[in-house]
Amino acid sequence: MSIKEHPPLHVPVLLNDVLAQLQPQSGENYLDLTAGYGGHARAILERTANYADSCLVDRDEYAHGHLGDIASKGATLMRDDFVSAAKQLVRNGQQFSLILLDLGVSSPQLDNAERGFSFTKSGPLDMRMDRRNDMTARDLVNTLRRDDIVKLLMEYGEEPKRVAQRYATAIVNARPLNTTEELAEAIKHAHVGKWQKTHPATRTFQAFRIAINDEIRQVSEVMPLVPKLLKKGGRVAIISFHSLEDRVVKRYLQEQERAGYEAQLHLVTKKAIAGDTNDVHNPRSRSAKLRVAVKP
């Protein structure tokens, strides 16, 4: 599927809450470290009207194919992972009034079978957010030792040890696995007991996706860079979708709260703002958590 054919429709998660918490003002500049298809960015930049001093970052070539309208108004686009981009912006001495991090995989990525993120659509076992990377999920699925798969499923899929062992054995016995459907079927056949809403392969796909895209390390490394990228009084909003990444964000922000006068960030949201569990139009928002902080 070409970039132009890729579905442009994307419902930004927790948009009203992000706007209410960040309170974008006219003239403020904006950094979107995970721009995706620009849903949050368009809403925020409509309020700030400062495109020239704003920057949108994403490592996904498909996302960049749908950000041209924002770039045409003067915003800078960077195709890179958010840690590399953040480091470059820090080196450049750039600071922003508003920063957004919308973590995880986007709905259009899930909807495109060729990307290999979803077990509901048969496609190649890819899962790369940046296709310039050589390693795919297929490489890991077919080459990792059983014990390494067990560790991966426990650490990134948060599966219990016995479940991880059973699924890892099923993966090894079913190899070679080349498609998302084949991996999902291997897990489904290894599953014990009934399941209703949540497919047994959900956490397995999450685990391989996190590993391929180095997601947890990325979040851990970007958090200390955020204060350096914020102007005094600047606000940052971070949306996470599973406990692993949210734990990293929460821990860092809590450490900042305990730092007292030396704190580089102060929490605005003492408790995370949760997504709408009844949102039938955007199921991804059900697991979302929004945390917001300000630079004193």
Query: What DSSP assignment string belongs to 138-165?
Result: HHHHHHS-HHHHHHHHHHTS---HHHHH
Which residues are within 8 A (CB) of 208 and not within 5 positions of it... i.e. 6 or more apart? 127, 137, 140, 141, 152, 156
Q: Measured between alpha carbons, how far is 199 from 178 in angstroms, rounded to an integer?
A: 19
Residue 115, pLDDT score: 87
Whether 280 shows a pLDDT value over 50: the answer reads no
Residue appearing with tokens 């990307």: 115
Largest CA distance in the chain: 59
Fold for 116-214, please state it.
DNA polymerase; domain 1 (1.10.150)
Whether 132 shows a pLDDT value over 70: the answer reads yes
Residue 106, pLDDT score: 66
Whether 286 shows a pLDDT value over 90: the answer reads no
Average model confidence (pLDDT) across the chain = 91
- The region of weakest confidence among 56-60, 105-109, 214-218, 285-289 is 105-109
Tell me the backbone φ, ψ of residue 144, rounded to 5 degrees.
Answer: -65, 145
Q: Measured between alpha carbons, how far is 233 from 3 in angstroms, rounded to an integer?
A: 38
15-108+216-294 matches 116-214 in fold? no
Whether 271 shows a pLDDT value over 50: the answer reads yes
Tell me the backbone φ, ψ of residue 57, rounded to 5 degrees.
Answer: -120, 135
Q: Which H or E run includes 21? A: helix 15-22
Residue 3, pLDDT score: 39
Q: Which H or E run includes 235? A: strand 230-240
Q: Measured between alpha carbons, how far is 238 from 98 in angstroms, rounded to an integer?
A: 11
Q: Measured between alpha carbons, how far is 80 from 34 in angstroms, rounded to an integer?
A: 10
Residue type, 190: A
For 225-254, the pLDDT digits (tens) are: 999 999 999 999 999 999 999 999 999 999
Per-residue confidence band for 8, with pLDDT thresholds at 50, 70 and 90? very low
Whether 107 shows a pLDDT value over 90: the answer reads no
User: Exposed e or buried b for every residue in 179-193, given b needs 16+ CB within 10 A?
Assistant: bbbbbbbbbeebeee
Per-residue confidence band for 110, with pLDDT thresholds at 50, 70 and 90? low
Annotated binding site for S-adenosyl-L-methionine: 38-40, 58, 82, 102, 109
Q: Is the dihedral of CA 211, 217, 220, 222 positive or negative?
A: negative
- Tell me if the pTM is above 0.85: yes
Per-residue confidence band for 109, with pLDDT thresholds at 50, 70 and 90? low
- Is the Cβ–Cβ distance between 11 and 102 less than 8 Å? no
Q: What is the 3-state secondary structure (H, E, C) of 32-77?
A: ECCCCCCHHHHHHHHHHCCCCCCEEECCCHHHHCCCHHHHCCCCEE
Residue 284, pLDDT score: 60
Structure tokens given for 106: 């986007």
Kindly list the domain boundaries of the chain, sorted by start residue: 15-108+216-294, 116-214
Residue 1, pLDDT score: 36
Q: Nearest Cα to 255, choosing from 288, 228, 227, 218?
A: 227
**Class in CATH terms, 15-108+216-294:** alpha beta
User: Exposed e or buried b for every residue in 145-155, given b needs 16+ CB within 10 A?
Assistant: eeeebbbbbbe
Annotated binding site: 38-40, 58, 82, 102, 109
User: Taking residues 154-179, what's their average pLDDT?
Assistant: 97
Per-residue confidence band for 6, with pLDDT thresholds at 50, 70 and 90? very low
Q: Measured between alpha carbons, how far is 174 from 183 in angstroms, rounded to an integer?
A: 8
Note if the bond before 176 is cis, omega within 30 degrees.
Answer: yes
Whether 213 shows a pLDDT value over 50: the answer reads yes
The share of the chain scoring above pLDDT 70, in percent, equals 91
Residue 275, pLDDT score: 84
